[in-house]
Amino acid sequence: MSKIEIRTVEVTQYLQPLREGGSLPAIVRADDDFLYVLKFRGAGQGKKALIAELLGGLLAQEIGLKVPELVFMNLDDSFSKTEPDQEIQDLLKFSVGLNLGLHFLSGAITYDPLVPVADALTVSKVVLLDSLITNIDRTAKNTNLLNWKNELWLIDHGASLYFHHNWKNWRAHLSRTFPNIKDHVLLKRANRLDEASVEIQQALSAEKIREIVSQIPEEWLTEESLPLAPGEIREAYFEFLSSKLNRIDLLVKEASDAR
């Protein structure tokens, strides 16, 4: 079982905002000379969106799905001082510190459901992953899927794990399923859910889930307004994902019924 390793790079150049994203991500260059899509800690949902992006992406990779490389990105305070756009200037100012980046897939195109580039098992894994992480944002309206080199790539998991927006009531989500799966863009083609379920359970042991959760930077778990300590929050993510995995048969049935 390979150990998870996430690189940390420095942002060296802000190139352009991606205005189709509600949180105003941007294409940036890093000190390794690669381009990344940078997700900002100072955006609307803040560090919670980065945590959802990180956990969703790492879980996807562990079960054999394709996700652009995830990296931690340090942003210093110099960029906001030279940015003329007030909205972007504020975003850069509030995002100084550790952010999250995804390797930019040059030439990738938005996934077209009418031009399938993935087999039924892969599609079924995507559907179950999104059930596990309660991802409400993989619909026909906004697929958050890319076709790159004729392969299916997953992006943008920031709207997942919505239980963490109310820590006072988070335990109520442990036993719930995910009825929103009925709107999933890939659901109609997900006809190997049972097989996908077996492979996901084989890939995601309790130890692996704990290792994935351990990748969350400590500074993303600290806010004065949070009712829980960082260690308690980390444990809550572990417990939530474990409970979903333990109920994967219910998620399979729910998705099958919705099909």
pLDDT band at 96 (very low <50, low <70, confident <90, very high): very high
Please list, residue by residue across 7-21, b when 16 or more beta carbons sit within 10 angstroms of its beta carbon and e when fewer do: eebebeebeebeeee
Helix H or strand E segment including 102:
strand 97-103
- pLDDT above 80 for 224: no
The Cα 162–Cα 41 span in angstroms is: 17
Per-residue pLDDT at 116 = 80
- Rounded CA-CA distance 78/141 in Å is 37
Whether the model pTM is above 0.75:
yes
The dihedral region occupied by 143, where left means phi > 0, alpha psi between -120 and 50, and beta the remainder, is alpha
72 three-state secondary structure: strand
Residue 235 has pLDDT above 80, yes or no: yes
SS percent in the chain: helix, strand, coil, step 5:
45, 20, 40
Please name the helix (run of DSSP H) or strand (run of DSSP E) that holds residue 166, with its range, or none. none
- By CB atoms closer than 10 A (0-12, 13-18, 19+), residue 4 is middle
Whole-number pLDDT of residue 78: 87
What is d(CA 142, CA 71) in angstroms, rounded to the nearest whole number? Answer: 24
54: confidence class by pLDDT, cuts 50, 70, 90? very high
What is the structure's pLDDT at 192? 97
Question: What mean pLDDT comes out for the span 152-160?
Answer: 96
Q: Give percent above pLDDT 70 in the chain.
A: 98
What pLDDT shows up at residue 81?
A: 80
Nearest in space to 118 (alpha carbons), one of 159, 60, 204:
60
State residue 108's pLDDT score.
Answer: 95
In this prediction, residue 15 carries a pLDDT of: 92
pLDDT, average across residues 68-93: 90
Query: For residue 203, how far is the Cα from the chain centroid?
Result: 18
pLDDT, tens digit, for every residue of 11-31?
999 999 987 656 789 999 999
Which uninterrupted H or E stretch holds 257?
helix 248-258
Mean pLDDT calculated for residue range 48-75: 97
Please write the tens of the pLDDT for every residue from 195-217: 999 999 999 999 999 999 999 99
All structural domains of the chain with their residue ranges: 8-103, 112-258
Tens of pLDDT, residues 102-141: 999 999 999 988 888 899 999 999 999 999 999 999 999 9
Determine what percent of the chain is predicted with pLDDT higher than 90: 83
Alpha-carbon span 217 to 72, nearest angstrom? 9
